[in-house]
């Protein structure tokens, strides 16, 4: 049997928070359920799209520090030993 849409939206919200490394405290769980409730009652968008669009605005997602992929350039050239 297919799960109700409310459960599916809540699972998606939980997954996204988990994927961002956020631990689901009771307080956050309540906020997630409130987000689902809002998604279900608003008339303009599909509940899933609404919830996932709103999620970044309603939850403090942790910053993702990206390491530098490479250091500052120090350009040089390759020689062929022609001057020898």
Judged by CB under 8 A, does residue 60 bind other proteins?
no
In whole angstroms, what is the distance from residue 82 CA to residue 33 CA? 72
Report in angstroms how near the CB of residue 48 gets to other proteins at its nearest.
Answer: 6
Radius of gyration of the chain (CA): 23
Judged by CB under 8 A, does residue 61 bind other proteins?
yes
In whole angstroms, what is the distance from residue 72 CA to residue 84 CA? 32
CB of 55 closer than 8 Å to CB of 16 = yes
Q: Of 11, 30, 42, 58, which lies in the binding site for other proteins, with binding defined by CB under 8 A?
A: 11
Report in angstroms how near the CB of residue 66 gets to other proteins at its nearest.
Answer: 5
Judged by CB under 8 A, does residue 70 bind other proteins?
yes
């Amino acid at each position: 049997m297919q799960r109700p849409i409310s459960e599916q939206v809540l699972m998606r919200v939980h997954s996204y928070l988990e994927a961002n490394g956020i631990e689901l405290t009771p307080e956050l769980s309540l906020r997630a359920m409130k987000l689902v409730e809002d998604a279900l009652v608003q008339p303009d968008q599909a509940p899933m799209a609404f919830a996932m669009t709103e999620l970044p605005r309603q939850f403090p997602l942790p910053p993702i520090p990206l390491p530098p992929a490479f250091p500052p350039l120090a350009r040089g050239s390759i020689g062929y030993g022609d001057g020898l």
